[in-house]
Amino acid sequence: MKNRLKVLRAERDWTQAQLADALEVSRQTINAIETGKFDPSLPLAFKVSRLFSLAIEAIFEDDESE
């Protein structure tokens, strides 16, 4: 799944560790999501959405939508 997490994080000058703390996950989880190796659970996607005040669709994009 493609996502804009790295861009959104960089815009706020947050490290992966800071974002991980805010979302209550590990830094490795953030890295795996940013690199497309891991798709977040729906509850985590909602948490990300709330943190950045964006719709889930504005952050995550299904690979099959191309």
- Is 14's pLDDT higher than 80? yes
Instruction: Quote the tokens at residue 17.
Output: 């560790």
Full set of structural domains in the chain with CATH? 2-55 (1.10.260.40)
Q: What local confidence, expressed as pLDDT, does residue 65 receive?
A: 56
Burial status of residue 54 (CB atoms within 10 A of its CB: 0-12, 13-18, 19 or more) = middle
SS3 65: helix
Taking only the tens place, the pLDDT of each residue in 15-62 is 999 999 999 999 999 999 999 999 999 999 999 999 999 999 999 998
